[in-house]
Amino acid sequence: MPDAAPHAYRVLDSETLFDGRVISLRRDTVAMPGGGDSVREVVAHPGAVAVVAVDDEDRVLLLRQYRHPVGRYLWELPAGLRDADGEPPLETAKRELAEEALLAAQRWSLLTTHYSSPGFTDEQVLIYLAEGLSAVDRPEGFVVEHEELDMTIERVPLADAVQRVFDGDIRNASAVVGLLATAQVRAARPRLRDVDAV
């Protein structure tokens, strides 16, 4: 959907403050539409994908993984960065499902595309629904390391996973969005975008 009206914001100056392995931080000076300018700190991010993998018993795959920035374990969906140069997001989703859950899917749908926290980062996450699951070997060359060594996997009835969102047990944003979107797809059959859309 196009913007309702063209915006009058312009970047007057941009300075890179940090350039890391995954993210970078820059300070932009932006012209405001009513006059004057304002400084915005922006975390640049390559983007990510997440997968709601639902089996034939309507159970969804959840991963429990430690996340250092929040200092706790979180229940999440299989997910990963879009950091492979030139790899389409659907292929990233397929790769992540195989790497983290040793699964492939016969049917793929694009559920949602969202910005994680657009007040400070450009991170965009595409969430896919994967159905018709089957076991596969871990992709060649992928090494399980760091927090993934401690990761656990659970299959949970979709309705129970949705309730866990409302109970506050599932707090990862992509998991919340993905599980609620999947429940809505099951309940109302909304029209979904093309699986290759971004």
CATH class of 48-188: alpha beta
Q: What's the token pair of residue 42?
A: 């922006």
Domain with CATH 3.90.79.10 in the chain: 48-188
pLDDT tens track, the chain, 198 positions: 555 566 678 999 999 999 999 999 999 999 998 889 999 999 999 999 999 999 999 999 999 999 999 999 999 999 999 988 889 999 999 999 999 999 999 999 999 999 999 999 999 999 999 999 999 988 777 776 666 778 999 999 999 999 999 999 999 999 999 999 999 999 999 999 999 998
Closest CA to 178 of 138, 141, 139, 125: 125
CA contacts within 13 A on the Cβ side of 71: 0
Say if residues 82 and 176 touch (Cβ distance below 8 Å). Answer: no
Burial 92-102 (b: 16+ CB within 10 A, else e): bbbbbbbbbbe
List the catalytic residues: 148
